[in-house]
Every structure is written in C-alpha cells, then in structure tokens.
Amino acid sequence: MTARTTSTLKKTLGALTVTAALASPALAGGTKLDIQSAWPLTMPASGANAAYLGEKLNEASGGSLDVTVYGAGKLVPSLQIFDAVQQGTLDAGITSPLYVAGRFPAVQLFGGIPFGPDVLTHTGWLYEGGGAEIWSEIYAEQGVKTIPCGLMDSEAGGWYNFEINSIDDLKGKKIRFAGLAGEAMAKVGASIVLLPGGEIYPGMEKGIIDGTELSMPAIDITLGLQDVGKYYYLPGWHQPAAMNELIINMAKWDSLDESQKTLIEESCKAVNLTSVLSTLTANGDAIATFEEAGVEIKSFPPEVLEGLHAAFDEVIAEQTTKDEDFKRVWDSLEAYRAKTAAWSERR
C-alpha cells in the first residue's frame, strides 16, 4: 500500500467516524439517568411501568438519554428512594408518594384517596385541575422534581380471615393497612400493623395479622395470598384510583435540556395509559384463580362503608386543620370534583 493510499484511507475513515457520530448521538454518549423502581420490575403495573419507561426513553431520545432502570432494592432500599434522590446519590426513582406521607402528609392525596374519585377524575384533577402543580411545588421545596407516572386502577378491599358484617367486626382485629385509610380503620377500632410486602404472606399464615390490603388482584396474586386468606373483599374503598410518581433530583432535572424534559413528561403519560390498561384482563383472571382456590369473594356491607366513611371524614378534618399543605391539596381536589360532578357522577 502506497503512502498516498494510506493517507487517503485515513481521511476516509476519519470522515466516516465523524458522520457516524453525528448520525447516532448514542455513540457520543447521552445524558446518564439511573432510575430505581420501588417494586420488582416483574410486578404487574407498578414494577413493569419502570421497565417500560426506561425502554421508551432510550428508544425515543435518539441517544440523548442513556437510561438504566433498576428493580427494587438494587441500589437503595425501596423506602429510601426519596432520600437518595433528594441527596443526589440516585438520579431518579419510580415510587409512591404514600411512602413519604409521614414526612409530607399532603402528598398521599396524590397517591390515592379513600372514598376518592375514580381513575379518570383523579387523573383529570392532576393534569387539568391544578393537582400536579401543587404536587410539584411541595416537592420542589425538597430539591426533588416529581412527575405523575404510573396510573393505577382501583385496589381491592383486602384479604381477611374473618367476615366483616358490621363495623364492630373490625374492632381489635390486627390488620395491615397504612396512610389515611389506616387512620380511618384505627378510628373504628382496628389495630393497624405496618408490614413490608414480603412479610404479608407469613403474617397471614401465622396469624400475626387477621387481614391485609395490598393492591389490585393482578398484583395480589403475585404473593399467593389466595393460599392464606379466606375472604377477599371487592371493590376497595381506600383507593379507587392511585398515581405513582417519577422523582428526579432537581439538580439533575435542571441539567436536562427542554426536549429531554418534555420527552420524560410525555413518556410518563404513555406509562399512565399503558399501566391502567395492562391490568384489566389480569385482574379478572386473578379473581377467577382466587375463586378456584376456594376464596370467598365478598363486598363490604353499606353499614361498614358508612362507618369507615365517617371515620375518614374525621381524619380529613384533623389533617386540614393542622397541615396547611394538606388543606391546600384537599381544597383543590374538592373544587375539581365539584366542577366535574354534573358529568362525572352520571357516568
């Protein structure tokens, strides 16, 4: 090979390298974004949403973003995701606002509301009724960006090894519940026990708890609760709809350009649709499996729901009195429900 040929070849290869780098931004390395889910990536809806989001962001960003998604506990414990994101040791997380309700009581209203609106109205309030803006403002004060990301349909009323025919049947029973619903249950006499998901099955099996709520049938079946629970109550009263969240360290969020921010926000809307649709048939299949296993499917009597509703009203009155942010969020929700009632209550 002559010196002239070698020189020409080097120039050609150099030009091809530059062209390839321009045509495929991924080769130059996109903005790294590590996201940890609070749930296993194999869990229907909640966990699968994180995997779906990462896949879509990598596909649609054209290499502008380099997203890696981790399952529950891979980088930090699930209940520490908010702290890790806040401190910047983790870029982002998909989790539930219910997990930080002890520190910021108001945000649990975004995650799910006992006797609250259905999926459509809840989502409408967030996107059209100002809910998401208040949510963002509360988190921004903590150095965290939040985006609604993981719409969930109604949860089941829970698993019980005793029948609930009156409000008195709940008195003294040890029940795994949390949040505002747990406070309402406590007011009617239940003994509320906080257990992580992995301890629910053995807790029911050994009689440590008499009942538990977890999620919707498609998720409940992943724990095999049909083997340890006698009665399954449908529908749930404590969470007619829920919204999980994508939280991002604010400094990381501010480092992104506008196209990247828009892509993330719009991809989370796609997650919401995919999430709520993905469990419709799975929920029906799960209930059929429960019945085949001998579980008795029951509904809460009106008297029980009335008692729980009255207890929940007491909880709301207490929270709105002592927490300014809680009152702001609750007032926003109630205003939206009033504006849409003429249609939503007739659907």
Would you list which residues are annotated within the binding site for substrate?
155, 176, 213, 239
Yes or no: say if 245 and 150 are a contact pair by the CB < 8 Å rule.
yes
Nearest to 205 by CA among 177, 228, 230, 173: 228
pLDDT tens by residue, 272-320: 999 999 999 999 999 999 999 999 999 999 999 999 999 999 999 999 9
End-to-end, the C-alpha distance of the chain in Å comes to 79
Helix (H) or strand (E) holding 288: helix 280-292
pLDDT of residue 25: 38
**What's the pLDDT band for 221 if we cut at 50, 70, 90?**
very high
Whether the predicted pLDDT of 121 surpasses 90: yes
Would you list which residues are annotated within the binding site?
155, 176, 213-214, 239
pLDDT of residue 195: 79
**What's the pLDDT band for 197 if we cut at 50, 70, 90?**
confident
Average pLDDT score over residue span 248-266 = 97
pLDDT of residue 258: 97
Whether the predicted pLDDT of 86 surpasses 70: yes
Average pLDDT score over residue span 29-45 = 93
pLDDT of residue 334: 96
pLDDT of residue 192: 92
Whether the predicted pLDDT of 237 surpasses 60: yes
Give the residue, 171 or 21, on which the prediction is more confident. Answer: 171
- pTM to 2 decimals? 0.85
Query: How far apart are the C-alpha atoms of 158 and 168, rounded to whole Å?
Result: 17
> Residues of 107-131 as b/e, b for ≥16 C-beta within 10 angstroms?
bbbbbbbbbbbebebbbbbbeebbb
Report CA-CA distances (Å) from 191 to 42, 99, 307: 32, 20, 16
**Which domains does the chain carry?**
31-153+242-282 (3.40.190.170), 158-239+295-318 (3.40.190.10)
- Indicate the average pLDDT of the chain: 90
Would you list which residues are annotated within the binding site for Na(+)?
214
pLDDT of residue 344: 75
Yes or no: say if 139 and 146 are a contact pair by the CB < 8 Å rule.
yes
**CB atoms closer than 10 angstroms to residue 90:** 23
**What's the pLDDT band for 22 if we cut at 50, 70, 90?**
very low
Query: How far apart are the C-alpha atoms of 212 and 174, rounded to whole Å?
Result: 9
> Residues of 260-282 as b/e, b for ≥16 C-beta within 10 angstroms?
beebbeebbeebbebbbebbeeb
How far is C-alpha 347 from the chain's CA centre? 25
Percentage of the chain modeled with pLDDT above 90: 83
pLDDT tens by residue, 142-195: 999 999 999 999 999 999 999 999 999 999 999 998 889 999 999 999 999 887
**What's the pLDDT band for 18 if we cut at 50, 70, 90?**
very low
